[in-house]
């Protein structure tokens, strides 16, 4: 395993650190290239898309470029929840897009979770996958009332048995957390090790013929005589089709004004404990190893790792004034809040030590709804806005984008997020930053209102 401090210095996640030494593929050498498909970004979206194109049609040359090592982005540093939450909340999707589209989105997400599970099982991937379900919990009566409404909506738009509702006492049987007032249990979800998983996706994509170049940053995109022309430091690549899978970095691509305004990065942070002792496990009675999210607006997410630790993330978020900088990897205050929240939830772990801390960025757009869009004609395809709920979504999106690249009309390509109406980010750093701060402030205010006396919960 690499040295811990070295890994922290490189802004690696716990999963990347724990994975051990990794040998990146060579960067793309300088020169001129021609390809059928060029994918920029080697996370779940880009690698899945490359694999699926190769699987369907081996005659295409598919090149994938990543500015860093594959999985350096959110795909190698997330919570690993293979989950069905679309956008922020089903209620918001309902309000903005109506019931039919909310139902369709939920069905897509359920399909996405199954797609990931099937891939892991059929390819026997070393992703430490556990299909143990998820609990969405409320800490106060106000939150529980809202959670019950979410449950009713989800039950109405999905097949029976997709969700169950537990009261506080029922939840307590599954987790010794004294503060839970109610929970939604969703059995058909799971957790994975994101770094192991993304590296398995690389192997699969290469097996289908994709050429993957790491540490190769794209610095410009243009069009010339109907072809997409992509520029790196030393190379020029002409591609018939271009897939932009750069997620939270998309605003940095020098291309059209559209691409720089489709989304903006928001930072989320995570910590992981040292391994728990048998006594500690017994004291919290986490029965069933299900993952846990709360239904706060600034959500916390918490799960068990295969190596016997607990990781928790979320709570406050990071917003950069200049979103081109992409440099908010660390936040000591948010990490300390996460530790306090973990110990508040599971008081018997009051003296557990934190082993590792990291951060990562997610792609957020104005209406907080995932989007797959085109730049100019249909030869440049991008995917953004998967927020913190992209583990399953981005992988099925990768399959969907493969269909678009191969110009196939499928049930996936009819999904309404494809070429949907989108609202551009406000122009300029100041407006964008103030807008994001305003939204974050409003979310915080709802939590403050719903949590009442709990706002002092961390005070000893
Ligand atoms: C801390 C954290 C926790 C999360 N937890 C969960 C969770 O539990 N469940 C869930 O569903 N979702 C979660 N998410 C969200 C989820 O991880 C993402 O939605 C998903 O991984 C995005 O995948 P992607 O392939 O689209 O993008 P990414 O994995 O971000 O990949 C984008 C890639 O593009 C590359 N790139 C950027 N610019 C360039 C350039 N100019 N040239 C070449 N390459 C470039 C980057 O290096 C990067 O590798 C979390 C995210 C974070 C950060």
Q: What's the full length of the chain, in residues?
A: 460
Buried b (16+ CB within 10 A) or exposed e, 102-111: bbbbbbbbbb
Q: Is 271 in the pocket of ligand 1 (CB under 6 A)?
A: no
Distance of alpha carbon 38 from alpha carbon 202, whole angstroms = 15
Q: What is the DSSP string of 315-336?
A: SS-B--SSTTS------HHHHH
Q: Is 158 in the pocket of ligand 1 (CB under 6 A)?
A: no
Ligand 1 atom nearest residue 45's Cα: 25
* 312: confidence class by pLDDT, cuts 50, 70, 90: very high
Specify whether 282 is located in the same domain as 149. Answer: yes
Q: Is 75 in the pocket of ligand 1 (CB under 6 A)?
A: yes
Q: Is residue 102 in some structural domain?
A: no
Q: Is residue 129 in some structural domain?
A: no
Taking residues 147-164, what's their average pLDDT?
97
Specify whether 325 is located in the same domain as 445. Answer: yes
Of residues 416 and 20, more confidently modeled? 416
pLDDT score for 217: 98
Distance of alpha carbon 22 from alpha carbon 2, whole angstroms = 10
Intra-chain end-to-end CA distance of the chain, in Å: 37
Taking residues 164-193, what's their average pLDDT?
96
Specify whether 419 is located in the same domain as 293. Answer: no
Distance 308 CA to ligand 1 centre (A): 25
Q: Is 16 in the pocket of ligand 1 (CB under 6 A)?
A: no
Distance 120 CA to ligand 1 centre (A): 19
Specify whether 143 is located in the same domain as 236. Answer: no
Specify whether 281 is located in the same domain as 356. Answer: yes
Specify whether 376 is located in the same domain as 350. Answer: no
Specify whether 258 is located in the same domain as 271. Answer: no
Specify whether 138 is located in the same domain as 179. Answer: yes
Distance of alpha carbon 312 from alpha carbon 158, whole angstroms = 29
Distance 364 CA to ligand 1 centre (A): 12
Taking residues 306-321, what's their average pLDDT?
97
Q: How many CA atoms lie within 13 A of 390 on its CB side?
A: 32
Specify whether 342 is located in the same domain as 205. Answer: no
Please provide residue 399's backbone torsions phi and psi, each rounded to the nearest 5 degrees.
-65, -45
Task: Calculate the alpha carbon distances from 409 to 403, 405, 406, 412 in Å.
Answer: 7, 10, 9, 8
* Nearest CA among 458, 395, 409, 406 for reference residue 114: 395
Does the pLDDT at position 456 exceed 80? Answer: no
CATH code assigned at 70:
3.50.50.60
Distance of alpha carbon 154 from alpha carbon 105, whole angstroms = 11
Taking residues 291-317, what's their average pLDDT?
97
Q: Which DSSP symbol is given to 276?
A: P
pLDDT tens digits, 131-143: 999 999 999 999 9
Look up the domain containing 289 and give its range: 134-187+265-364+434-456
Q: Is residue 114 in some structural domain?
A: no
Distance of alpha carbon 291 from alpha carbon 289, whole angstroms = 7
pLDDT tens digits, 325-351: 999 999 999 999 999 999 999 999 999
Q: Is 60 in the pocket of ligand 1 (CB under 6 A)?
A: no
Q: Is residue 92 in some structural domain?
A: no
**Token duo for residue 381:** 């395809």
Distance of alpha carbon 18 from alpha carbon 308, whole angstroms = 13
pLDDT tens digits, 77-90: 999 999 999 999 99
* 452: confidence class by pLDDT, cuts 50, 70, 90: confident
pLDDT score for 400: 98
Ligand 1 pocket test, pick from 249, 314, 315, 370 with the greatest ligand atom count within 8 Å of Cβ, gives 249
Specify whether 355 is located in the same domain as 449. Answer: yes
Q: Is residue 222 in some structural domain?
A: yes
* 460: confidence class by pLDDT, cuts 50, 70, 90: low
Does the pLDDT at position 149 exceed 90? Answer: yes
Specify whether 225 is located in the same domain as 257. Answer: yes
Distance of alpha carbon 68 from alpha carbon 46, whole angstroms = 13
Q: Is 398 in the pocket of ligand 1 (CB under 6 A)?
A: no
- Total domain count for the chain? 2
Ligand 1 atom 14: the closest Cα is on which residue? 388
Q: What is the DSSP string of 354-380?
A: EEEEEEEEEEE-TT---EEEESSSTTE
CATH code assigned at 445:
3.30.9.10
Please provide residue 185's backbone torsions phi and psi, each rounded to the nearest 5 degrees.
-105, 130
Q: Is 362 in the pocket of ligand 1 (CB under 6 A)?
A: yes
Q: Is residue 400 in some structural domain?
A: yes
Distance 105 CA to ligand 1 centre (A): 20
Question: For residue 418, what are the β-bridge partners?
Answer: 372
Q: Is residue 376 in some structural domain?
A: yes
pLDDT score for 1: 65
Distance of alpha carbon 210 from alpha carbon 367, whole angstroms = 34
Indicate the average pLDDT of the chain.
95
* Residue % of the chain over a pLDDT of 90: 93
Ligand 1 atom 52: the closest Cα is on which residue? 78
pLDDT score for 5: 82
Does the pLDDT at position 44 exceed 90? Answer: yes
Q: Is 68 in the pocket of ligand 1 (CB under 6 A)?
A: yes
* Nearest CA among 242, 259, 234 for reference residue 424: 259
Specify whether 280 is located in the same domain as 356. Answer: yes
pLDDT tens digits, 188-236: 999 999 999 999 999 999 999 999 999 999 999 999 999 999 999 999 9
Q: Is residue 149 in some structural domain?
A: yes
Is the C-alpha dihedral spanning 95, 101, 107, 112 positive or negative? negative
Taking residues 83-104, what's their average pLDDT?
96
CB burial of residue 409 (10 Å; 0-12, 13-18, 19+): exposed
């Amino acid at each position: 395993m690499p040295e811990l401090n070295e890994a922290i210095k490189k802004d690696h996640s716990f999963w990347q650190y724990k994975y051990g030494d990794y040998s990146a593929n060579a960067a793309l050498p300088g020169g001129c290239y021609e390809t059928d498909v060029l994918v920029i970004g080697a996370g779940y979206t880009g690698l899945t898309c490359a694999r699926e194109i190769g699987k369907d049609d081996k005659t295409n040359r598919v090149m994938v470029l990543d500015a860093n090592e594959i999985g350096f982005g959110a795909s190698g540093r997330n919570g690993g929840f293979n989950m069905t939450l679309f956008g922020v909340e089903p209620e918001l999707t309902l309000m903005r897009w109506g019931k039919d589209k909310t139902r369709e989105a939920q069905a897509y997400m359920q399909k996405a979770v199954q797609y990931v599970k099937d891939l892991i099982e059929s390819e026997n991937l070393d992703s430490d996958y556990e299909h143990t379900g998820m609990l969405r919990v409320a800490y106060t009566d106000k939150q529980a009332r809202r959670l019950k409404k979410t449950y009713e909506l989800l039950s109405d738009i999905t097949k029976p048995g997709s969700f169950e509702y537990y009261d506080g006492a029922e939840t307590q049987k599954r987790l010794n957390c004294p503060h839970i007032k109610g929970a939604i249990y969703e059995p058909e979800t799971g957790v994975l090790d994101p770094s192991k998983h993304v590296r398995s996706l690389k192997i699969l994509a290469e097996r289908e013929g994709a050429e993957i170049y790491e540490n190769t940053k794209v610095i410009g995109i243009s069009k010339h005589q109907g072809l997409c022309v992509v520029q790196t430091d030393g190379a020029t690549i002409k591609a018939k089709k271009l897939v932009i899978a750069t997620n939270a970095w998309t605003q940095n691509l020098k291309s059209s004004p559209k691409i720089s305004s489709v989304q903006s990065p928001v930072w989320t942070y995570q910590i992981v404990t040292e391994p728990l002792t048998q006594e500690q496990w017994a004291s919290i009675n986490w029965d069933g190893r299900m993952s846990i999210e709360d239904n706060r607006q600034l959500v916390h997410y918490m799960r068990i790792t295969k190596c016997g630790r607990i990781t928790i993330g979320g709570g406050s978020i990071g917003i950069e004034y200049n979103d081109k900088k992409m440099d908010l990897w660390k936040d000591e205050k948010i990490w300390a809040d996460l530790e306090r929240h973990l110990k508040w939830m599971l008081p018997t772990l009051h003296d557990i030590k934190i082993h590792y801390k990291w951060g990562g960025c997610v792609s957020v757009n104005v209406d907080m709804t995932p989007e797959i869009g085109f730049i100019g004609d249909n030869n440049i395809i991008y995917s953004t806005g998967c927020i913190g709920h992209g583990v399953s979504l981005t992988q099925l999106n990768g399959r969907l984008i493969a269909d678009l690249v191969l110009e196939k009309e499928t049930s996936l390509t009819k999904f309404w997020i494809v070429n949907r109406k989108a609202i551009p980010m406000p122009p300029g750093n100041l407006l964008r930053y103030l807008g994001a701060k305003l939204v974050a402030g409003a979310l915080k205010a709802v939590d403050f209102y719903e949590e009442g006396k709990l706002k002092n919960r961390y005070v000893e």
